Structure 1
C-alpha cells in the first residue's frame, strides 16, 4: 500500500518522536534512597556537580533520577547502606605495660554529603564492598591500638564508653578522608592472658558482694521494722475498728431502746385513747338508752293519762247517764203522780 505524499512528512515526525521517547526512557536512570548515582562525562550542568583537578567533573544524584546522555555520559552506583565491622587487636601494651586484647563492633557507611560521596567514589568505585570494609577496618584497628597504648588498664576497665568515644573521634577524621563516617563504635570485650583484669575486678567484686550482703541485711532489718510497724498499725486499726463497732452497737442499742420506749408510749397512749373512746361510746349508748327509756316512760305516762282521762270521761258519761236516767225516772214518776 503506497502512502500518500501529504502523509510522508507527518509519519516521519511521529516515528522520530517515538524513537526519541524510547531512547529517553532507556537512558533515564532512577536512584533509590539507599544509593547514590555517580555521573561522569560532559554536559553535567551545575546542580550537585563537583569539579576536580584538570576540569574533571562528577555529578551526584540521590533519591531521584537523571537522563544519561549516550556517548557523552556514564553512570555508576554506590550503596549508602551501613556496614558492620568486627574490630579486634592482638595483644597491645597499655601505658603501664600490661598487654591486653580488645574486641569491638563498628557501624560505618558512606557519608550523606555530596563531598563524601565524591570522595568515596574516587576511592571505592568499581571495588567490591569487602575492599571498603577491609580498609576501614585497618584504620579502626590502628587507632584502637594507638588509644590502648595511651591509657592504663584501669582507665579502660572502668570507662569503656570513654575509651570507645576516643577511638571513634580519632578514627572519624581518617575515615572522613575516605568519604566514610562512623555511625557507632562499641567495645565488646577487653581481656588479658595474665589474669590482670580478674585481679583488678576482685576487690570490686568483693566490695559489691559486701555491699550486697549489707544491703540484704538492711533490707531484712527494714522489712522486720516495717512488718512490726505494720502489725502495730494493724492492731491500732483493729482496736479502732472494735471501738467503732462497740460505739455503733451501743448507739444501735440506745436507738432501739428509744424507739421501743417511744413505741410503748405511743401504744399506751393509743390504748388509753381507745379505752376513753370506748367509755365515751358506752356512755353515749347508755345516754341514748336512757333517752329512749325516758321517751318510753313519757309515752306510757301519756297513755296512762289518756286512759285515765278516757275512764274519767266514761265515768262522767255513765254518771251523767244514770243521773239523767234518775232524773227522767223522777220526772216520769212526778208526771205520773200528777196524773
Structure 2
C-alpha cells in the first residue's frame, strides 16, 4: 500500500524495492513509493509455546514425558529481523509458532536422551538451560530468540519418579534428623557460651547504665525543679487569666441563655395557644358534639327500653293470668273427675262386696244342705292343683340322671320310680286332711248314698256267682 506506513513498537516494517537490502523500521513510520516499493509488517510480539515430548527414553532407558513452556520472539537486531523476514514474511503467526515449537521439541528430545532421570528430576533448571542453549543456535538462524524456557512437568508411566521421590524423601528425612540433632547440640553449646558472655556484658552494661541514670536523675531533678517553679508561675498566671476569661465568657453565655429562654418561652406560649385552638377544633368540640349525640341516643334507648319493659310486663301479666285461669279450670276439672271416679269405684266395691256376700251366703246354704258331700266336692276340685304343685319341681328340672342297680324287687327303677313317688305323694293327701280337719275323706265318700266300695263290689259279685251256681 503506497504512502506513509506507521507501526507500533511491537511491529517492524520491511520495505523492499528501493535498493539491494530491504529497509527495516521498528516502531516508526516510512514512506512507500507507489509502484516502486513494497512494505510488509513483521510482528515482534512474544509467542508462548507448550513444548510437550511424550515417552522419550533417557540415558538409562526410562521413558519420560516432559512438558516445557517457552517464550520466543523475533530478535531485536536489524540483522535478525532481516533474517526472520526472509524466513517468515507471508506466513501466519500460527505457522511461525509451529516452526519454532518443532525446533524446541526436537532439541528437548535430544537432550533427554543424553541425561539420566535423576539429573533431569533433581535439577530441572539445568536441564532447561541446556535445552535453551542447544536450541538457541537454530532459533538464531531463523532470526528468533528464546526469551525464557522452563520445565513445567515431568511424568513417567511406571512409577520410577515416585520411587525415586520416596527414596530421596527417606534420605532427606534421615539427613534432616541428623542435621537437626547436630544443630541442636551446637546451638546448645553456643547458646550457653553466648549466655555467659551476655551475662558478663549485661552486668558491665547495667553498672554503666546505673551510673549514667544516677547522673541523669541528679541533673534532671535540678532541671525539673527549676522548670516546675517556672511552670507553676506560668500556670498560676494562666489559670488566673483563664478564670477571668471564663467568667466573662460565662456572663455572655448567661445573657445568651436568658435571651434564648425568653424566645423559647414566647414560642412555647404561642405553641400552647395553637394547641389550645387545635384541641378545641379537633378534640373538645367534636367530643362535646359526640357527648350530646350519645346522651340523646342514650335517652332514646332508655325510653325505648322503658316502653319495651312495660309492654313485656303487660304481656307477661296477661299470659300469667290466662295460665292461672287455665290451671284453675284444669284443677277443678281434675277434682270433679277424681270425685266422680271415687264415687264410681266406691259403688263398684260396694256392689262387688254385696255380690261376694250373696255368693258366700248361698255357698254356706249349699254346704249346710250337702254337708260333707260339698266338702268332698271342693276337695276333688283342688286335687288337680295339688298334683300340679307336686309336679312343679320336676317341670323346672332340665336333666334327670337315673342310676338303676337292677334290683328285682317290686319297687321299680328309672322313670317309673319317679312317677310312683309323685303318686305316693298324692295318695298321702287323705291322711293329711284327716290330721288337719278330723274329716276322714275315704269314710265320707264310702258313706255317700249310691257309693260302693271295692270290697262291697267284690262281695256282690261273689254272691251273684253263688246264686247262679245254685240255680
TM-score range, shorter chain: 0.5 to 0.7
The equivalent residue for 1:135 is 99
Please list the CA deviations of residues 114-171 of structure 1 after superposition, one character each: whole Å capped at 9, or x if unmatched.
3322332233223321111111111111111111112221222233233222222222
Separation (CA, whole Å) in 2 of partners of 1:243 and 1:124: 82
**1:142–1:229 CA distance, 2 compared to 1 (3 A):** same
**1:222–1:27 CA distance, 2 compared to 1 (3 A):** same
**1:230–1:160 CA distance, 2 compared to 1 (3 A):** closer
Q: Map residues 246-257 of structure 1 onto 2, 5 A cutoff.
A: none
Which consecutive unaligned segments of at least 5 residues does structure 2 have?
Answer: 212-471
Separation (CA, whole Å) in 1 of partners of 2:61 and 2:99: 29
Larger radius of gyration: 2
Please list the CA deviations of residues 230-278 of structure 1 after superposition, one character each: whole Å capped at 9, or x if unmatched.
665576578779999999xxxxxxxxxxxxxxxxxxxxxxxxxxxxxxx
Aligned match of 2:45 in 81, 100, 124? 81
- Following superposition, the deviation at residue 195 of structure 1 comes to 1.6
**1:222–1:96 CA distance, 2 compared to 1 (3 A):** closer
Is the partner of 1:89 in helix, strand or coil?
A: strand
**1:28–1:211 CA distance, 2 compared to 1 (3 A):** same
Q: Map residues 87-236 of structure 1 onto 2, 5 A cutoff.
A: 87-226=51-190, 228-229=192-193, 232=196
Is the partner of 2:90 in helix, strand or coil?
A: coil
Aligned match of 2:14 in 29, 38, 59? 38
**1:233–1:126 CA distance, 2 compared to 1 (3 A):** same
Deviates more, 1:183-192 or 1:222-231: 222-231
Is the partner of 2:54 in helix, strand or coil?
A: coil
Which consecutive unaligned segments of at least 5 residues does structure 1 have?
Answer: 1-25, 51-57, 248-339
**1:149–1:237 CA distance, 2 compared to 1 (3 A):** closer
- In the comparison of the two structures, how many residue pairs are matched? 212
Separation (CA, whole Å) in 1 of partners of 2:30 and 2:4: 6
Q: Does 1:29 align with 2:5?
A: yes
- Following superposition, the deviation at residue 71 of structure 1 comes to 1.8
Separation (CA, whole Å) in 2 of partners of 1:243 and 1:117: 76
Is the partner of 2:96 in helix, strand or coil?
A: helix
- RCO higher in structure (CA 8 A, sep ≥6): 1
Q: Which is helix-richer, 1 or 2? A: 2
**1:242–1:108 CA distance, 2 compared to 1 (3 A):** closer
Separation (CA, whole Å) in 1 of partners of 2:117 and 2:107: 17
Separation (CA, whole Å) in 1 of partners of 2:30 and 2:205: 86
Separation (CA, whole Å) in 2 of partners of 1:148 and 1:246: 71
The equivalent residue for 2:245 is none
Q: Map residues 259-338 of structure 1 onto 2, 5 A cutoff.
A: none
Runs (4+) of structure 1 exceeding 6 A deviation are 237-247
